[in-house]
Amino acid sequence: MLIHDLVVHPRRVPLRVPYTSVVRGTVHEARVTLVELVHGDGRSAWGEAVSMPAVTGETPESAAALLSGPLREAVVGRRVEDLGENCTRVDRCIAGNGGAKAAVEIALHDAFAQELGTPLFRSLGGSDRKLETSITVGLGTPEEMARRADELAGDGFTALKLKVGHAVELDVRRVEAVRQAVGPGVRLRLDANQGWTAKLAVRAVRLLEDRGADIELIEQPVAARDLGALRFVRERVLTPVVADESVLTARDALEVVRHEAADVLSVKLQESGGIRNVLRIISIAEAAGLGCMVGCSLETEISVTAAASVVAARPAVTHVDLDAPLWLGASPVRGGVRYEGPVLNLPAGPGLGVNGLLPPPEG
């Protein structure tokens, strides 16, 4: 079955509540570039690019240009069945630009699983197991973050990821306020988004450890490229250290392992260029005896269903951070993964189980 066309659908999706972090500032909408891969008897497969200029250098405009140009040329006219070769062509036709490449690669996997008549997670070797995700609490005052955390705990979430990375004393007050609000039964993960120096990171984590805040892990406390600083923190705190922005490629993962810089590797389809590269990084973490987290950015059900399918296929994944669709005011997608509180239910239909897009809101 041949791929007949690749169509780009840029969308702006308002968020339910503003999202604030050190790396993004405050954002009120998700800007996503949805990809429709037309194949077979007019059926469509779906992919998605999410641009993260501060991490990958991509913008929605650059992703759309690449998707309409070299990435389209790499796959149109190709056979859906030639998944491995098609993904290699996508990966090699441009350097970097993980989000744009992930969009096409996800759509290729969707089309392939549709041809098999099986859900994507099954085509990857996965089982029909329920996944439980953490959910993010954005930066705010200690009181605001505690109030939001209490609401989410009341909705059944048992793992919260708190954005930190500002002044140490304020960050400590934020975490302590959240811990007091949710009690001891909720796991707290911290994400500093590269916001601290190595010494400040050690100070912040040690203060929280000494005060009994019971932190499950600390994600990317220092600059992504400074693996020496990441190792410095890891060697001086008891809390497991996660490498996130430090791990965009399989080669990055090998360097983190070589430097003994982290206890957990965090990986995102949108940063790493799609499913195959994420699977490579998970294998590296598994071989090195490290934990692995699969996360997301501000994405729709398309990309998150693909990421959840990877998790379902790889028991080596120890942490799931796939809450992005819960931030969207109104999803533009029909179908895909569905949530019951913190539990992700993977679709039973072929591929991603996505049945098309909803029309954008008027105005």
What would the two tokens of residue 223 be? 């600059």
Catalytic member of 101, 130, 161, 163 = 163
Annotated catalytic, 130? no
Annotated catalytic, 163? yes
Give me the phi and psi of 314, to 5 degrees please. Answer: -130, 95
Q: CB under 8 Å to 315, separation ≥6 — which residues? A: none
Q: What does the angle CA 78 – CA 82 – CA 86 come to, to the nearest 5 degrees?
A: 65
Give me the phi and psi of 133, to 5 degrees please. Answer: -105, 155
| Helix (H) / strand (E) containing 319 | strand 319-320
Q: CB under 8 Å to 262, separation ≥6 — which residues? A: 230, 234, 241, 242, 243, 246, 256, 290
Catalytic member of 101, 130, 161, 268 = 268
Note whether 306 and 124 are within 8 A (CB).
no
Phi-psi region for residue 3, left (φ > 0), alpha (ψ -120 to 50) or beta? beta
Tell me which residue of 254, 333, 300, 275 sits closest to 111, measured CA to CA. Answer: 275
d(CA 61, CA 299): 17
Note whether 198 and 167 are within 8 A (CB).
no
Q: Would you please indicate which residues are annotated as catalytic (active-site) residues?
A: 163, 268
